[in-house]
C-alpha cells in the first residue's frame, strides 16, 4: 500500500510540475560566439535556437512574424536583444522564456525551415526526392 501511495504521489507531483512550467514552454537560446574570429570588429555567432520543451531548432533572425505580434511586443527584428527587451519575455543568461503566442510562431517557423532543409538535402543526395521508392519506380525496365 505504501508503494502504491508513493507512486501516486510521484505521478501527482509530475503532473503539477508540468502545469507550473506551462508558461515557459518556449525558450530562445542565444548562439555562441566564435572564439578567435572577428569580422568587422565583432565576433560572429552561431545561429540562435528556439526550443519547445527539449526539442530545439536553429532560427534565422532575418525571418519576420505577423505584424500584430511585432506590434504587440514592440519588435523591429527578431534578434536576441530585441526579444530580450520585449514585454512578457524573461531572461536567464543566454536563454529567454517566450510567451506562448510569440514562441509558437517562432518555433513553427524554425521547424518548417528545418524540414525544408532536410527535404532539400535528401532530394540532392541521389535518392530521388527524399525516398528510394521514387528511384525504384522510375527505373527503366527491359522491353520484351
Is residue 27, in this structure, part of any structural domain at all? yes
Is residue 129, in this structure, part of any structural domain at all? no
Residue 138 has pLDDT above 80, yes or no: no
Is residue 127, in this structure, part of any structural domain at all? no
Residue 14 CA to residue 16 CA, distance in Å, equals: 5
Cell numbers of 38, please?
572577428
Tens of pLDDT, residues 8-67:
555 555 554 444 444 469 999 998 888 888 888 887 888 899 999 889 999 986 778 899
The vertex-119 CA angle with 100 and 62, nearest 5°, equals 50
Q: Per the structure, how many domains does the chain have? A: 1
Tens of pLDDT, residues 84-127:
999 999 999 999 999 999 999 999 999 999 998 888 877 765 55
Tens of pLDDT, residues 72-84:
999 998 989 999 9
DSSP state of 24: G
CB 60 within 8 A of CB 70: no
Residue 68's pLDDT is 95
Range of 66's domain?
23-116
DSSP state of 52: E
Of 87, 78, 27, 125, the closest CA to residue 117 belongs to: 125
Is residue 47, in this structure, part of any structural domain at all? yes
Residue 121's pLDDT is 78
Residue 118's pLDDT is 84
Amino acid at each position: 500500500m505504501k508503494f502504491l501511495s508513493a507512486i501516486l504521489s510521484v505521478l501527482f507531483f509530475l503532473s503539477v510540475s508540468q502545469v507550473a512550467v506551462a508558461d515557459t514552454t518556449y525558450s530562445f537560446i542565444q548562439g555562441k560566439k566564435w572564439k578567435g574570429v572577428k569580422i568587422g570588429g565583432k565576433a560572429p555567432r552561431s545561429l540562435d535556437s528556439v526550443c519547445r520543451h527539449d526539442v530545439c531548432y536553429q532560427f534565422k533572425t532575418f525571418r519576420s512574424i505577423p505584424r500584430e505580434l511585432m506590434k504587440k511586443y514592440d519588435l523591429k527584428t527578431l534578434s536576441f536583444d530585441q526579444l530580450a527587451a520585449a514585454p512578457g519575455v524573461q531572461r536567464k543568461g543566454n536563454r529567454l522564456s517566450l510567451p506562448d503566442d510569440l514562441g509558437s510562431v517562432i518555433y513553427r517557423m524554425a521547424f518548417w525551415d528545418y524540414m525544408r532543409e532536410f527535404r532539400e538535402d535528401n532530394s540532392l543526395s541521389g535518392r530521388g526526392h527524399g525516398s528510394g521508392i521514387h528511384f525504384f519506380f522510375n527505373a527503366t525496365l527491359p522491353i520484351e
